[in-house]
Structure 1
Amino acid sequence: MSDTKQLNPRTQHYEFLGPPGALFITLSVPLTLYALYFTCSEAAGGCPPPFDTLFVGAVRACNDLAWWKNLWDTQATVLYFSWYSFCVAAWAILPGDWVEGVRLRNGGVQKYKINAFATFLLTLGVASGYIIQYGPESFTFIYEKWLGFVTASLLMSVLQGLYCYAFSYRGDKLLALGGNSGNFIYDFFIGRELNPSIGSLDLKSFNELRPGLILWVLIDISMACEQAVRRGGSIANVTDSMWLVLTFQSFYVIDALYNEPAILTTMDITTDGFGFMLAVGDLAWVPFVYSLQARYLAFKQVELGPIWTAAIVLVNATGYWIFRDSNGEKNDFRNGKNPKNLQYFETQRGTKLLTSGWWGLSRHPNYLGDLVMAIAWCLPTGFDTPIPYFYPIYFAVLLIHRQRRDDDNCQKKYGEDWNKYMELVPYRIIPYVY
């Protein structure tokens, strides 16, 4: 028992302002998902609806039982849970290498099956064949049943959060250092167990890259099909703006899935527990918020022309170059390679920290690349409304929060050496700005 207590000490430091903050985010995430639909959709009257009717309409809707019932769609729920089951079956059936993650503090290692990219290819093949066989109108059901799919994803997130919290008390589980506070609200939200699994299926890494991320691409395809139907029924009639969004976001997902082992060293996998926060982020927030631009373009069609198209492609390519090249420098250096002869700072722990190249310009240059790409995804929607730009604004807040968490952890890990390092690399994300 004493060994277990030493291995799983009680959490002393709260994040997100503790239980009140965790409760606020737990409630506000579903509200935000629904709000993004009701402030940017044809059904609500536009993007956004007329301001003078927005508040009155919201009050009337909340007092209408039929409005609440409209949030639930049995068929959409069955489809969503079937989709999740398909992802599990693909994980189990498709071939893939078993890769060890980082060594855990109990001396063990977690093994992960790497076949997310194969799952994506299978999914894309099935979806493409279905559309070719039955036409674009057969794949517009995600657009038509949007609210039902959102509700189903939230239900799955809550169920997984409760399941992982309850089963974290069974046996001698390795807990997340930040999720063992003893407060139900906080631990349910942040994640109590570090690596909850069902058999050999690691829930955290599985959810990170499969059901939500691949669904994001399927949603974009459904939005393109919806637009195609409205413009004569042919995929050839889809606007250049929709093609840009579909291409950019699909490429981002493909890159993440193809480089699946890279997530095994991220903070989400190595440090955070798996609770409602990661479940709702992976399963609901990613597919249904990140696809906002495609959903907007489905009913608000924008033609860019070749000049604007080329300019936006250049912005996205620049962001991807920064993101991929900076991550390449880091991964090479972690693996004992230094092809660019980059300078580094050696700490008393023996760890080496890069101080030149991209990592000499800022401590998180990969975040900068992510932000540039996020802006490029929104530019095809034009400037008639700010709502499709919600994603880069939220993403900037998220990345700043993650950067501060990382800096706090490094401060505890390296002590005075971290202060010296910050003098060498003073900028956090954007060189000469922040």
Structure 2
Amino acid sequence: MTAKSKTTVIDGKTQRLNPKTTDLDFFGIPGATFITLTLPLFILFLQIGCTPESCTVAGVLNIDWSAEMTKLRAMPLFDINVFGVYLTWFFSLAACDLILPGPVAEGVVLRDGKTRLKYNLNGKTVMTTLAVILAARWVQTGGAMPELVFCYDHYVQIATSAIVWSFIVATYVYVASFTHDCILSVGGNSGNPIFDWFIGRELNPRIGSFDIKYFCEMRPGLLLWAVLNLAMAHHEYITKGFVSLPMALVVLMEIYYVVEGNWEEYGAIHMMDITTDGFGFMLAFGDLAWVPFVYTVQARYLSTRTIEYPLWYAGIIVTLFATGYYIFRASNNEKNAFKHGDAPHLRYIENDKGNKLIVSGWWGAARHVNYLGDWLISWAWCLATGYESIFPYFFVAYFGVLLVHREMRDDHKCALKYKELWVQYKKAVPSAIIPGIY
């Protein structure tokens, strides 16, 4: 029996397990094609365009595009040896993910009404192993750290390698989805190969117990982001003899974000990316290329110049970061506690199917108040770069658009899932992200 012919019982009715996708996200095939073609080029523009001359307001407005194109043509964007190093990084982490111990947790019940995938949550041991290796190499090389020098010197080639690999991974999981019975994503079963390849046809592509989507979401891209930030700080250290306050703030805040996310990774198996979205080019590219090479813009910008500002300004940045993180973590912890029945003080509304939605506490303030915390964190990262250039502030604008779009997608999916209960919930909690404003 093929995956298409299977049925399941949902809300007491027999329905197809893998219904045909008729509502195409991202404006359908034109949007998917546009994103696929332009975002890789945008990543390369960010990396190549951020030079001491162009990473300023005046530099961007007065850039010599002829000279920049000449430099671009002379730069080897792809290097097979660098690609080999990148694959070594990827598969070494995959081996760690399979070998290193960690608590095993079950994910949400899938659409067939019975399957709960198991996840090995070994982020703590993976990160500890990586930290020990880096510390040992620091001692062994006397701080020279050729690995970090390599990352800095071949930054663009590593970015290209990640982009190429995301295309390969997306193609593999798309083809593999036709070779076995599987639960397809609701949004990626349109029958159009371009769109389904882009959005992700299979919901949870796996090789044995190895979950490709979860691994890509939590390990290679996020940890590479941290390593690349260390490479930027190391470059400043070996060229100037010190790590500046702005660089230290950016690197410490962003590495904390990565470490804390992997440390508290149980919440990740309940995110929309894992529970709802298929795994195709959109997520593969976002996880493997976009995160490590767009989220390092602030550190890369600081590595090309010397920025100074007073301690009181640094204090504002740290306070903003701490506030955002408190909102983000406290709201997510509250939701997790509610799911486990550990938050009896919270008020909620419920329908006859047993679905419950919180209408007090953090989630009574806004339907995605955790996104507000995330956005404040991104402001702290950008403000830490000073105020000489708009270049690194692109990130906070992009992140705001991303969060609003995610909220809109989630609102649509919840309206379909909860129906009248969702209508009641939106009346009880009218704000989407920012309480009383939006």
Common topology (TM > 0.5): yes
**Which band: TM-score by shorter chain?**
over 0.9
Match for 1:8 among 18, 24, 31?
18
Match for 2:90 among 81, 84, 91?
84
Give CA deviations for 1:192-245 in whole Å, capped at 9, x if unaligned.
Answer: 01111112110000111110111111011110000001112xxxx211111111
Distance 1:225 1:158, change over 3 A: same
Distance 1:304 1:61, change over 3 A: closer
1:142 aligned onto 2:151: yes
Match for 1:130 among 131, 137, 148?
137
Give CA deviations for 1:86-114 in whole Å, capped at 9, x if unaligned.
Answer: 10111122112222211112222211111
1:231 aligned onto 2:240: yes
Give CA deviations for 1:62-102 in whole Å, capped at 9, x if unaligned.
Answer: 7x4x44xx101233212111101110111122112222211
Partner of 1:428 in structure 2? 432
Partner of 2:116 in structure 1? 109
Cα shift at 1:166: 0.5
Aligned counterparts of 1:364 and 1:379: Cα–Cα separation in 2: 24
Cα shift at 1:304: 2.8
Distance 1:46 1:350, change over 3 A: closer
CA root-mean-square deviation: 1.7
Cα shift at 1:381: 0.5
The secondary structure found in structure 2 opposite 1:100 is strand
Partner of 1:24 in structure 2? 34
The secondary structure found in structure 1 opposite 2:118 is strand
Count of residue pairs the alignment pairs up: 424
Kept in 1, the 8 Å contact 2:162–2:288? The answer is: yes
Matches within 5 A, 1:33-432: 33-42=43-52, 45-47=54-56, 49=59, 51-58=61-68, 60=70, 64=73, 66-67=74-75, 70-106=76-112, 107-134=114-141, 135-136=143-144, 138=146, 139-232=148-241, 237-338=242-343, 341-432=345-436
Question: TM-score scaled by structure 1?
Answer: 0.93
The secondary structure found in structure 1 opposite 2:229 is helix
Aligned counterparts of 2:354 and 2:97: Cα–Cα separation in 1: 38
Q: Which moved more, 1:346-355 or 1:116-125?
A: 346-355
Kept in 2, the 8 Å contact 1:326–1:365? The answer is: yes
Kept in 2, the 8 Å contact 1:176–1:193? The answer is: yes
Give CA deviations for 1:289-308 in whole Å, capped at 9, x if unaligned.
Answer: 10111111111222333212
The secondary structure found in structure 2 opposite 1:302 is coil
Aligned counterparts of 2:412 and 2:63: Cα–Cα separation in 1: 45
Q: Which moved more, 1:131-140 or 1:78-87?
A: 131-140
**Structure 2 segments unaligned to the other structure (5+ residues):** 8-15
Cα shift at 1:30: 0.3
Kept in 2, the 8 Å contact 1:137–1:229? The answer is: no
Cα shift at 1:60: 4.7
The secondary structure found in structure 1 opposite 2:104 is strand
The amino acid that maps onto 1:316 is F
Aligned counterparts of 2:269 and 2:60: Cα–Cα separation in 1: 46
Kept in 1, the 8 Å contact 2:328–2:370? The answer is: yes
Aligned counterparts of 1:357 and 1:239: Cα–Cα separation in 2: 40
Aligned counterparts of 1:160 and 1:190: Cα–Cα separation in 2: 13
Cα shift at 1:429: 0.3
The amino acid that maps onto 1:204 is K
Cα shift at 1:50: 5.1
The percent identity for this pair of structures is: 43
Aligned counterparts of 1:152 and 1:47: Cα–Cα separation in 2: 28
Q: Which moved more, 1:301-310 or 1:393-402?
A: 301-310
Cα shift at 1:45: 4.6
Aligned counterparts of 2:55 and 2:331: Cα–Cα separation in 1: 40
Aligned counterparts of 2:183 and 2:134: Cα–Cα separation in 1: 39
Cα shift at 1:34: 0.7
